[in-house]
Structure 1
Amino acid sequence: MLNPQWLRTFTTLAELGSFTRAAERLHLTQAAVSQHLRHLENELGLLVIRRPRQLELTPAGHALLVYCEETELADKRLRLRLSGADTESGEISLISPGSIGLALFPMLLALQQAKPGWVVRHRFAPDSEVLAAVLQNQYELGLVTLKPDDPRLAASHFTEEPLELIVPATQTDIHAWSDLERLGFIDHPDGQAMASRLLSRRFPGNPGVQTLRRQGFTNQIGLILEPVARGLGFTVMPRYARTAFARQDAIAVVECGPPVVDTLWLIHRSEWPVSSFAARAIEHLRQHFANAEPA
């Protein structure tokens, strides 16, 4: 690595074109300026041609000057970012469960459109992968449905999301367990667990979701409601996944009594603060969910 003092001497010499003036500005002797230049030229080759009334940079000298300018800019960007003052550029990296992710991703893209210097990196994943990704510094922010007790993670309330029983719009007459048996169940990775929690409210003492005829399965969060919209069965899933579905006229939500609500926790590494631009994004998203009307 090149000595920073030698580089400061070189850039000053290139700017002023004089050993005498460079020495005066840097509060050095002319001999020290010449020594710094000699050290650089020993490593990089001839940098300056000494002429009677001026100094001329060689191609290597011009290349070193560009390097010094780029290094100075990188140093300024680093200091600005670490100071927390830079909220106009940077990467927002977020990993979340699929349902809330369907709601968040369009909002993040809207933020990126408003702030072209921001870059959004988002991934869908279950709780276990979210925890691992944040702990391993692969993502700065994560959302989970269970509050972690790991001291390396800071967790704060983000929003709440109820589970919903969703049926084809043409088959909303659901009064008994037999009506669900008739429709059949559209399953997904969390389907049976979610259905067991919600349906126990509407149909206490039911024989269990596993007894229902399974009409289909998909692990793609955005496709779970497609077979429901086509009249092939019912499912149970979180509200934000349902509201993100394009064909709302083809599905319906059946009331199941007292809501079953999951709390979503925002997590990040507790040892250091969230970046300034990520903090602004979090504030915007929280405000959106706080003001959102139940759909």
Structure 2
Amino acid sequence: MLNPQWLRSFSVLAELGSFTRTADQLGLTQAAVSQHIRHLEGELGPLLIRRPRRLELTPAGHACLAYCHEVEQADRRLALRLTESDAEHGEIGLISPGSIGLALYLELLDLQRASPGLAVRHRFAPDSEVLDAVLHNRYELGLVTLRPDDPRLAASLFAEEPLELVVPAGERGETWADLERLGFIDHPDGQAMATRLLSRRFPGHPGIRHLPLRGFSNQIGLLLEPVARGLGFTVIPRHARQAFARQEAIRVVAGGEPVVDTLWLIHRAEWPLSSRARRAVDHLRARISPGVELQ
């Protein structure tokens, strides 16, 4: 088995690209870091190409770095297993779609402030990545928009998230002509969301692809900024709209039959949630989806 200290030195060196900074971060001498790398290269072959201003990993170096990450993840999973009964200490790992994630992350930070022994690790991701991350134990909790049918996953209703038509403040957005004049601000799920909502609001019109495109952003937290500046309209989930700081600069166009996404909380079915994860779920349900109980 490879020495964990050698692997740690190599992992940090690969990240920082400097023997000096690696030694400073690890509290070692530069000579000690160099010795660790020499030991690893004695076992695995050349790992680094040393250039005047940078380090480059060899194929063996990339393989070693991937192994380092696997060891770190295994260590993290072991630590989680050993602290499952402790609701005040340890990591809360949650992966979710971006829109509701904007609301969830802030609530989790409030929970962490109340219990400083907790550490929040949150990631925005689409459904496919959420499922993979929970199945492979990289995150204990996940949220998806479609209930999975994999027997390895337990799923319970978490919240409903309506889609909203958002225009600049002072604009109407109540007719198709209004939307044609404004133009569409797109995002990764924008075409699909807009099609679902606008087909109900404006039946008989040609669809979102026939409206002028005024912009695109894959950053959910910034998506409403061009709308607030009068550059177009968008269709976005309510939680993402509520997280926007400048509510006075935008307007939600009411009316029509609502279009609602259902969000499902998932975790591995083979073992119960850790105490801290269950505490986090209870905290989030009370603030995001009151009245919905974990199944």
TM normalised by structure 1 equals 0.70
Unpaired stretches in structure 1, ≥5 consecutive residues: 1-76
Give the Cα–Cα distance (whole angstroms) in 2 for the partners of residues 80 and 186 of structure 1: 47
Give the Cα–Cα distance (whole angstroms) in 2 for the partners of residues 279 and 268 of structure 1: 11
The answer to whether the 8 A contact 2:174-2:253 is kept is no
- 1:123 alignment partner AA: R
Question: Shift in Å at residue 258 of structure 1?
Answer: 1.4
Partner residue, 1:160:
160
RMSD in angstroms over aligned alpha carbons? 1.6
1:120 aligns with 2:120: yes
Partner residue, 1:131:
131
The answer to whether the 8 A contact 2:168-2:227 is kept is yes
Question: Shift in Å at residue 179 of structure 1?
Answer: 1.1
SS of the aligned residue for 1:197 comes to helix
Question: Shift in Å at residue 81 of structure 1?
Answer: 3.1
- 2:286 alignment partner AA: Q
- 2:83 alignment partner AA: R
Give the Cα–Cα distance (whole angstroms) in 2 for the partners of residues 78 and 164 of structure 1: 39
- 1:81 alignment partner AA: T
- 2:270 alignment partner AA: E
User: Which string of whole-angstrom CA distances, capped at 9 and with x for unpartnered residues, describes residues 93-149 of structure 1?
Assistant: 000000000001111001000001100000000111101111111111000000000
SS of the aligned residue for 1:266 comes to strand
The answer to whether the 8 A contact 2:166-2:250 is kept is yes
1:231 aligns with 2:233: no
Unpaired stretches in structure 2, ≥5 consecutive residues: 1-78
Give the Cα–Cα distance (whole angstroms) in 2 for the partners of residues 225 and 240 of structure 1: 12
Give the Cα–Cα distance (whole angstroms) in 2 for the partners of residues 154 and 80 of structure 1: 22
- 2:231 alignment partner AA: L
Question: Shift in Å at residue 79 of structure 1?
Answer: 9.2
Moved over 4 A (4+): 77-80
Give the Cα–Cα distance (whole angstroms) in 1 for the partners of residues 126 and 81 of structure 2: 36
Partner residue, 2:73:
none
1:243 aligns with 2:242: yes
Q: Pick closer, same or farther for the CA change 1:78–1:280 going to 2, 3 Å.
A: closer
Question: Shift in Å at residue 291 of structure 1?
Answer: 4.2
Question: Shift in Å at residue 87 of structure 1?
Answer: 1.3
Question: Shift in Å at residue 174 of structure 1?
Answer: 2.6
- 2:258 alignment partner AA: P
Question: Shift in Å at residue 80 of structure 1?
Answer: 7.2
Partner residue, 2:258:
259
The answer to whether the 8 A contact 1:165-1:256 is kept is no
Question: Shift in Å at residue 166 of structure 1?
Answer: 0.1
SS of the aligned residue for 2:221 comes to helix
Partner residue, 2:199:
200
SS of the aligned residue for 2:209 comes to helix
Q: How does 1:1-295 map to 2 (within 5 A)?
A: 81-82=83-84, 84=85, 86-171=86-171, 173-291=172-290
SS of the aligned residue for 1:258 comes to coil
User: Which string of whole-angstrom CA distances, capped at 9 and with x for unpartnered residues, describes residues 242-273 of structure 1?
Assistant: 00000000000001311101110000011111
Give the Cα–Cα distance (whole angstroms) in 2 for the partners of residues 125 and 78 of structure 1: 22
- 2:140 alignment partner AA: E
- 1:146 alignment partner AA: L
Give the Cα–Cα distance (whole angstroms) in 1 for the partners of residues 82 and 164 of structure 2: 46
Give the Cα–Cα distance (whole angstroms) in 2 for the partners of residues 81 and 152 of structure 1: 22
Give the Cα–Cα distance (whole angstroms) in 2 for the partners of residues 232 and 242 of structure 1: 16
- 1:256 alignment partner AA: G
Q: Pick closer, same or farther for the CA change 1:243–1:127 going to 2, 3 Å.
A: same
User: Which string of whole-angstrom CA distances, capped at 9 and with x for unpartnered residues, describes residues 175-214 of structure 1?
Assistant: 3211101000000000010000001111011101011100
Question: Shift in Å at residue 78 of structure 1?
Answer: 8.9
Give the Cα–Cα distance (whole angstroms) in 2 for the partners of residues 231 and 291 of structure 1: 35
Number of aligned positions between the proteins: 213
